[in-house]
Amino acid sequence: MATDSIGNVELTDSTPTDATAFLIEPPRKRTKTTSGRRSRTNFEMLAWLFMRLSGIVLVFLVLGHLIIQLVLDGGVSKISFAFVAGRWASPFWQAWDLLMLWLAMLHGANGMRTVINDYAERPGTRFWLKVLLVAATVFTVLLGTLVIFTFDPNIS
């Protein structure tokens, strides 16, 4: 640090040289190498686009789903095994539910990935939360898909 003639301190190097000095550091500071490990893919752009496009489709799928399940024909009281069996007898509702399952799960999972990126500070925490997220997503999507395709209305 240099001092000029009127006693003002000029910061020549903003990193303190005194090793004993305290600092108040933010989480996950940018470093010189941050941009060095650059990803050469369009993954983030495609994820961003997917959130918006799936959102538009989900407006219709989810609202339609909620109205059919919760509002029309006496609301929730009509939902039974027979009601579900009746709807899934039609390929149209099978396709609707399959699309809704995949879009909502991928949309929600990518949204949660954003939340983890925003809030988890330590690299280890970030990694394991994402592992958990992917496992839960894959499990739910596969199980849901399996049920839609193998649903047996005459199960005993």
Partner 1 sequence: MSTPTIDDTATPHSAALDAAESGEVELITITLRIRRFNPEEHPDAVWVDYQLTVDPKERVLDAINRVKWEQDGTLTYRRSCAHGVCGSDAMRINGKNRLACKTLIKDVTALDKNGVAKPITIEAIKGMTVLKDLVVDMDPFFQAYRDVMPFLITTGNAPTRERIQSEEDVQRFEDTTKCILCAACTSSCPVFWNDGQYFGPAAIVNAHRFIFDSRDEGAEQRLEILNDREGVWRCRTTFNCTDACPRGIEVTKAIQEVKRALITRRY
- Footprint of partner 1 (CB under 8 A): 9, 11, 14-16, 18, 20-32, 34-35, 38-39, 42-45, 47-49, 114, 117-119, 121
User: At closest approach, how far in Å is the CB of 142 from partner 1?
Assistant: 27
Length of the chain: 156
Residue among 34, 42, 90, 114 that touches ligand HEM (CB under 6 A) = 114
Rounded to 5 degrees, φ, ψ at 94 are -60, -45
Dihedral over Cα of 101, 63, 44, 124: its sign:
negative
Residue type, 150: T
- Near ligand HEM in 82-111, by CB under 6 A: 104, 107-108, 111
| Dist CA 145 CA 101 (whole Å) | 8
Which of 26, 74 has the CB closer to partner 1?
Answer: 26
Residue 152 DSSP class: -
- Using CB under 6 A, list all residues that contact ligand HEM: 51-52, 55, 58-59, 62, 104, 107-108, 111-112, 114-115
